[in-house]
C-alpha cells in the first residue's frame, strides 16, 4: 500500500487520469445491464440512469471508505490540514478520478447546459482535491467532504426509482425518509464542520480564501438542494422547474 501511494504522490495527475479511465470502464460494464422499460424508451432517461449508476458505485465506495478512515484514524477529523494516511490519500485520488470522468461524461454527451450546477460543483471539487493531491495538504478535509457520499447513496437511489416510475413503491417511501436523515447527518453536518474549520483556522491555512469561497458556494447550493427535496417529497407544489442532472426534486 505504501509503495502504491508513494507512486501516486509522485504522479498525482496521471494517477487521477488512470482512475478516471477505470470509472469509465465501470460505466461501460454497467451499460450491459438491462434497463427498466420506462428508462429504455427515453434517450435522456437512459443516459441519466447509466450516469447515476456509476455515481452510485462511487458513492458506495467512497462514502464507506471516508467513514472508515475517520473511524480508524480520528486525527483525520482534528487536523484537516496536515494529517493524512496512505489510505486517505488513495481515497482522494480515486474520488478525483471519478469527478473528472463524470464531468467529461456530462460535457461530451451534450448535457452540460442542463447540468450546469453540477459542473460548477465538479469544478470546485476537482480543483480542491487536486490541490490536496499535489501539496499533500487538506487531504483530511477532502476525506470529511466525502462524508456527503453517504447521502449521495440515498439521493441516487431516489432518482433511480423516479426514473423507473417506482415512486409509489415502499422502497421509495422508506428511502425518502432515509434520504432526509442522511442529508442532514452527512451532508449538512459535514459542510457545517468544514465551514467552521476554515473560519476558525483561517489565519494559518494556506489559500484559505479559495477554500472559503468554494465552501460558501457549496453551502448555497446544498441549501437550495435541501429546499427542493423538502418541497418535492414532503410539501405539495404546483410548479415544476427545470432540474439539474442529479438533484432533480420535482
Give pLDDT, residue 237.
53
**H/E element holding 84?**
none
Nearest-angstrom CA–CA distance, 61 and 91: 9
31 touches 116 (CB < 8 A): no
User: What is the DSSP track for 85-104?
Assistant: -HHHHHHHHHHHHHHHHHHH
Which residues contact residue 127 at a Cβ distance below 8 angstroms, ignoring those fewer than 6 apart? Answer: 214
**Structural domain boundaries of the chain?**
2-234
Give pLDDT, residue 111.
87
134 touches 12 (CB < 8 A): yes
- A 10 A CB-CB count for 33 gives 9
Per-residue pLDDT 10s for the chain (250 aa) are 667 777 777 888 999 999 999 999 999 999 888 888 888 888 888 999 999 999 999 999 999 999 999 999 999 999 999 999 999 999 999 999 999 999 999 999 998 888 888 899 999 999 999 999 999 999 999 999 999 999 999 999 999 999 999 989 999 999 999 999 999 999 999 999 999 999 999 999 999 999 999 999 999 999 999 999 999 888 865 444 444 444 444 4
Map residue 182 onto helix, strand or coil: helix
Which residues contact residue 86 at a Cβ distance below 8 angstroms, ignoring those fewer than 6 apart? Answer: 1, 2, 4, 5
At which residue does the C-alpha cell 450516469 appear?
51
62 touches 91 (CB < 8 A): yes
Q: Which of 123, 121, 143 is nearest to 132 (CA)?
A: 143
Map residue 31 onto helix, strand or coil: coil
Amino acid at each position: 500500500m505504501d509503495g502504491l501511494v508513494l507512486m501516486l504522490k509522485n504522479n498525482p495527475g496521471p494517477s487521477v487520469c488512470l482512475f478516471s479511465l477505470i470509472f469509465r470502464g465501470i460505466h461501460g460494464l454497467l451499460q450491459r445491464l438491462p434497463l427498466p422499460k420506462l428508462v429504455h424508451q427515453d434517450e435522456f432517461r437512459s443516459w441519466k440512469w447509466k450516469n447515476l449508476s456509476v455515481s452510485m458505485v462511487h458513492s458506495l465506495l467512497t462514502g464507506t471508505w471516508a467513514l472508515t478512515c475517520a473511524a480508524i484514524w480520528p486525527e483525520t477529523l482534528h487536523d484537516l490540514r496536515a494529517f493524512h494516511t496512505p489510505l486517505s490519500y488513495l481515497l482522494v485520488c480515486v474520488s478525483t478520478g471519478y469527478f473528472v470522468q463524470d464531468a467529461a461524461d456530462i460535457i461530451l454527451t451534450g448535457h452540460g447546459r442542463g447540468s450546469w450546477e453540477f459542473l460548477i460543483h465538479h469544478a470546485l471539487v476537482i480543483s480542491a482535491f487536486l490541490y490536496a493531491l499535489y501539496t499533500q495538504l487538506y487531504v483530511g478535509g477532502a476525506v470529511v467532504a466525502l462524508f456527503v457520499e453517504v447521502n449521495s447513496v440515498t439521493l441516487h437511489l431516489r432518482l433511480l426509482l423516479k426514473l423507473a416510475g417506482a415512486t409509489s413503491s415502499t422502497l421509495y417511501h422508506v428511502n425518502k425518509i432515509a434520504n432526509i436523515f442522511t442529508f442532514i447527518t452527512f451532508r449538512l453536518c459535514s459542510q457545517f464542520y468544514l465551514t467552521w474549520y476554515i473560519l476558525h483556522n483561517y489565519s494559518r491555512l494556506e489559500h484559505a480564501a479559495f477554500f472559503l469561497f468554494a465552501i460558501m458556494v457549496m453551502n448555497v447550493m446544498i441549501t437550495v438542494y435541501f429546499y427542493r427535496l423538502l418541497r418535492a417529497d414532503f410539501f405539495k407544489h404546483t410548479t415544476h422547474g427545470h432540474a439539474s442532472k442529479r438533484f432533480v426534486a420535482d
